[in-house]
Amino acid sequence: MAAPKGTAIRRTPLERIEYAIIVTTLLAMVVVMLQPILNLLAVSFSDPSQVAGKSGLDIWPSGFSLDVWMLLLQHPNVQRGILNSIFITATATFIGVVGTALMAWGLSRPNLPGRRIIFLLVLVTIVFEPGIIPDYFLMKRMGLLDSYWSVILYKAVNAWYLIILVRFFEEIPEELLEAAELDGANPFQIFFQVVLPLAKPALATIALFYLVFHWNEFFRAMIYLNDQTKYPLQVVLRQFVVEGDKLAIVGADNAANNIGVAQINLKALKAGMIIITILPILAIYPLILKFFTKGTMSGALKG
Amino acid sequence: MSSVEQNATAIASVSGNVPISRRVANGIRRWWPYYVMLAPGLLFFLIWHYFPIWEAKMAFEQVRIIPPNLWVGLKHFQTLFASPVFYQVLANTLIISTLKILFVFPVPIIVALLLNEVRSGKLRKFVQSAIYLPHFLSWVVIAGIFIAILSPSDGAVNQITGLFGIKPTAFMTDGNSSRWVLVFSEIWRSAGWDSLLYLAAIIGIDQSLYEAAELDGANRWQKVWHVTIPGIVPTIATLFILNMGMFLSADLNQVINFLNDVNRGQIDILDTYVYRIGLRTGEYSLATAAGLFKAVFGMILILSAHFVSKRLTGKGVW
Q: Which A positions 159-178 lie with beta carbon below 8 A of chain B?
A: 159, 162-163
| Other residues' Cβ atoms within 10 Å of the Cβ of residue B30 | 20
- pLDDT tier for residue A302 given thresholds of 50, 70 and 90: very low
Nearest-Cα distance to chain B for A40, in Å, is 8
Domain membership of residue B118 (yes or no) is yes
- Convert B11-27 to b/e letters by CB count within 10 Å (16 or more is b): eebeeeeeeeeebeebb
Which residues, 6+ apart, have CB-to-CB distance to B54 below 8 Å?
none
A137·B279 Cβ contact <8 A:
no
The interface pTM score, or ipTM, of the predicted complex is: 0.90
pLDDT at A3: 45
User: Residue B155: closest CA among chain A residues belongs to which residue?
Assistant: A56
Q: Do A218 and B284 lie within an 8 Å CB cutoff?
A: no
In this structure, the answer to whether residues B39 and B113 fall within a common structural domain is no
Best mutation target among B26, B29, B37, B207 (most A Cβ atoms within 10 Å) is: B37
| Chain A touched by B300 (CB under 8 Å) | no
Quote the pLDDT of residue B252: 94
Residue A4 pLDDT > 60, yes or no? no
Dihedral sign (CA A199, A202, A208, A209): negative
Flag whether residue A88 sits within 8 Å of chain B, measured between CB atoms.
Answer: no
Residue B144 lies in a domain: yes
Nearest CA among B149, B234, B247, B133 for reference residue B190? B133
Asked if the C-beta of B149 comes within 8 angstroms of chain A's C-beta atoms, the answer is yes
Least CB-CB distance to A36: which of B45, B145, B288? B145
What integer pLDDT is reported at residue A2 of this predicted model? Answer: 46
Read off the CATH number of the domain in which B225 is found: 1.10.3720.10
In a domain, B226, yes or no: yes
Give the pLDDT score at A95.
Answer: 97
Q: pLDDT value at position A298? A: 52
> Do B149 and B250 belong to one domain?
yes
Q: If pLDDT is split at 50, 70 and 90, which confidence band does A214 have?
A: very high
**Distance separating alpha carbons of residues A10 and B145, to the nearest angstrom:** 44
In a shared domain, residues B123 and B137? yes
Q: Are B96 and B112 part of one and the same domain?
A: yes
How many beta-carbon contacts under 8 Å exist across A and B?
286
What is the structure's pLDDT at A251? 58
Same domain, B114 and B206: yes
**Distance of residue B155 Cα from the nearest chain A Cα, in angstroms:** 5
Nearest Cα of chain B lies from the Cα of A140 at a distance, in angstroms, of 11
Q: Which of residues 209-238 of B touch A (CB under 8 A)?
A: 210-211, 219-220, 235
Interchain CB contact of B115 with A (< 8 Å): yes
> Judging by beta carbons within 10 Å of its beta carbon (0-12, 13-18, 19+), is residue A92 exposed, middle or buried?
buried
Residues B146, B240, single domain; the answer is yes
Mean pLDDT of A63-81: 91
Query: Quick one: B138 and B62 in the same domain?
Result: no
Query: Domain check: are B59 and B165 in the same one?
Result: no
Q: Is residue B238 part of a domain?
A: yes
Residue B249 within a domain = yes
**Cβ-Cβ contacts under 8 Å for B290 (sequence gap 6 or more):** B80, B86, B270, B273, B274, B277
Contact: A132, B133; criterion CB under 8 Å: no
Higher pLDDT, A12 or B188: B188
- Cβ within 8 Å of B, A 1-20: 1-4, 15, 18-19
Work out the minimum CA distance from B180 to partner chain A, whole angstroms.
Answer: 17
Instruction: Check CB contact under 8 Å for A35 and B156.
Output: yes
Residue B318 is assigned to a structural domain of this protein: no
pLDDT band at A256 (very low <50, low <70, confident <90, very high): very low
Structure confidence at residue B225 (pLDDT):
93
Residues 232-261 of A with CB under 8 A from B: 234-235, 237-238, 241-242
Is the Cβ of B299 closer than 8 Å to some Cβ of chain A?
Answer: yes
pTM beyond 0.95: no
Label residue A219 exposed, middle or buried (CB < 10 Å: 0-12, 13-18, 19+): buried
Structural domain of B8 = 3-71
Cα torsion angle, B203, B206, B210, B213, sign: negative
Identify the domain boundary among B44, B71, B98. B71
Q: Are residues B197 and B243 in the same domain?
A: yes
Contacts of B235 in chain A (CB under 8 A): 300
Inter-helix orientation angle B139-149/A200-216, to 10°: 60
Q: Assess A21–B contact: CB distance below 8 Å, yes or no.
A: no
Which parts of chain B fold into alpha helices (H)? 3-15, 20-45, 51-55, 75-81, 84-103, 106-117, 121-132, 139-149, 156-163, 175-203, 207-215, 220-223, 229-245, 252-258, 264-267, 270-275, 284-313
The reply to whether A26 touches chain B by the CB within 8 Å rule is yes
Closest Cβ–Cβ partner in A98, A125, A137 for B58: A137
Question: Within an 8 Å CB–CB cutoff, is residue A301 touching chain B?
Answer: yes
Residue of A nearest to B160 (CA): A57
Count of structural domains within chain B: 2
Q: B38, B71, B104 — which closes off a domain?
A: B71
Query: By CA distance, what is B119's nearest residue in A?
Result: A2
Q: Does B202 touch chain A (CB under 8 A)?
A: yes
The verdict on B164 touching A (C-beta cutoff 8 Å) is no
* Residues B136 and B123 grouped into a single domain: yes
Taking CB atoms within 8 Å and a gap of at least 24, the contacts of A34-37 are A34/B130, A34/B133, A35/A59, A35/B156, A36/B145, A36/B148, A36/B149, A36/B156, A37/A275, A37/A278, A37/B133, A37/B145
Decide if B18 touches A, using CB distance below 8 A: no
B198 and B85 share one domain:
yes
B71 forms bridges with which residues in the sheet?
A: B61
Q: Do B299 and A122 touch (CB under 8 A)?
A: no
B204 touches chain A (CB under 8 A): yes
Residue of A nearest to B47 (CA): A138
For residue B105, which of B267, B235, B270 has the smallest C-alpha distance?
B235
What would the pLDDT profile of A118-129 be if each residue is shown by its tens digit? 999 999 998 898
d(CA B230, CA A257): 64
- For residues B160 and B21, state if they share a domain: no
Where a domain ends, among B71, B95, B114? B71
When mean pLDDT is compared across A152-156, A289-293, B162-166, B220-224, the lowest value belongs to A289-293
Map out the domains of chain A with their CATH numbers.
13-65 (no CATH), 69-302 (1.10.3720.10)
A125 → closest Cβ in B45, B127, B188: B45
Up-side HSE of residue B85: CA atoms within 13 Å toward CB? 14
Give chain B's residues under pLDDT 50: 1-5, 8-9, 12-13
Q: Which residues contact B244 (CB under 8 A, 6 or more apart)?
A: B101, B301, B305
Partner B, chain A 46-85, Cβ-Cβ below 8 Å:
53-57
Condensed to tens digits (0 to 9), the pLDDT of residues A25-63 reads 999 999 999 999 999 999 999 988 888 878 888 899 999
Check CB contact under 8 Å for B148 and A271: yes
Q: Which residues contact A57 (CB under 8 A, 6 or more apart)?
A: A35, A39, B156, B159, B160
